[in-house]
Amino acid sequence: MSAESPVAAAPEAAPSELFIVGFPGGELPAELRDRFARGDFAGLIFFTRNFRDPTDLVAIAEFLHSIAATYAPPQPELKALPPIFALDYEGGRVQRIKAPFTVWPRMGHLRAHPPELAEKVGRAMAVELSALGINVNFAPVLDVDSNPHNPIIGDRAFADTPAAVSARALAFLRGLESHGGLRGCGKHFPGHGDTETDSHLTLPVVRRDLPALRAVELGPFVDAVAAGIGMLMTAHVVYPAVDSRPATLSPRWLTEILRRELGFTGVCVSDDMDMNAVTAQELGLADDSEVVVEALLAGCDAFLFCKDADRLHRAEAALLRAAQSDARVRARINESAARLRRFRQTLAPCQPQLAALRRFPAPEHEQLCAQILKPPADVGKPGA
């Protein structure tokens, strides 16, 4: 992990350059394929649904490489940048590709073990993802498991105290990023651990005051920024003591606190903009087309649109309209595009290692899993 240095804004970047896009089926739609090839988007995010046989690692790698091979933007400055090829690969409930890769336990098991084990897990995951051609893993979770009624985070979190989360999540990130060209992304700023609803379904609210949020939820993010993390994902969560808008749309959270107070200089990426938490109905808007403009002006740099092509098109059209009439929007597009380009310079291109993939499952990774699942009293005993 290394701190990002400021760079000049990208001159007249297209709004679509801020998008990381997913698709619903097992074939890349023709329009998305064409626009990806032209360099319109920052990159792609993949899900289990995109792979005809999620157990055939070689076929998945060949599919990813066939897409990457089409990338040929006419602009030299974009052609030189590897596109983002992203996956959610946390372990536990959120692991898009499983066997014959390692079926990793929930990271919550690591709270019983020293951070060194989390770093080994990050290194092992990096071996798997790099062999596949993935260059961004939307992990680690930096949320604190602070509410036993939370339906979406829980044991996805590394621990239930800020210090324990920081120690293990950042050790995991060091391991993950030790494999050159693969980057992690901490999530979900400023903390999703105390919610009682799922932002995929509705807009969660956390009713802690700001001192309590600083004492618990914010701690791992403060530590991650100090460690030089290059990408953070926002939470579609409202914290009324700070702002009436969800963090993804909040200049108080994203500009005043994250950028100015914490000193974050990396890429701030939204959680999926297809989630119900940021629909027009949940936000009290006439339509959802302007949500991405509000998020951009709040301080968000990149936007995930994981499935809904219509919503992606409406968001892009809204950004184009706003950029034509508002100099602030144009400036923010260029500033965010510059951050994304700088981040992409650190990525490896999608170059799968087919021979390595044929060697999975990896016995040494299975041994790590067994170690994670052992009661802590057994770890370190002779024969344990």
Q: In this model, does residue 32 exceed pLDDT 50? A: yes
Mean pLDDT taken over the chain: 93
Say which CATH number the domain at 57 has. Answer: 3.20.20.300
Distances (CA, A) of 216 to 123, 126, 146, 260, 271: 28, 29, 8, 20, 21
Active site residue 274: no
Flag the least confident range among 57-61, 148-152, 157-161, 302-306.
148-152
Is residue 383 assigned to a domain? Answer: no
Active site residue 200: yes
Give the pLDDT of residue 10. Answer: 58
Give the pLDDT of residue 9. Answer: 60
Residue 337's nearest CA partner among 290, 289, 300 is 300
Is residue 209 assigned to a domain? Answer: yes
Is residue 148 assigned to a domain? Answer: yes
Q: In this model, does residue 341 exceed pLDDT 70? A: yes
Catalytic residue among 271, 272, 288, 301: 271
Q: In this model, does residue 139 exceed pLDDT 70? A: yes
Query: Amino acid identity, residue 289?
Result: S
Catalytic residue among 56, 200, 274, 308: 200
Range of the domain at 286: 19-369
| Count of structural domains within the chain | 1
Q: What is the pLDDT of residues 2-13, one digit of tens each?
A: 444 444 565 689
Q: What is the pLDDT of residues 71-109, one digit of tens each?
A: 999 999 999 999 999 999 999 999 999 999 999 999 999
Q: How many helices and strands (H and E) does the chain possess? A: 14, 11
Q: Return the percent helix, strand and coil in the chain, to nearest 5.
A: 45, 10, 45
Q: What is the pLDDT of residues 161-203, one digit of tens each?
A: 999 999 999 999 999 999 899 999 999 999 999 998 888 888 9
Is residue 127 assigned to a domain? Answer: yes
Is residue 2 assigned to a domain? Answer: no
Is residue 8 assigned to a domain? Answer: no
Is residue 374 assigned to a domain? Answer: no
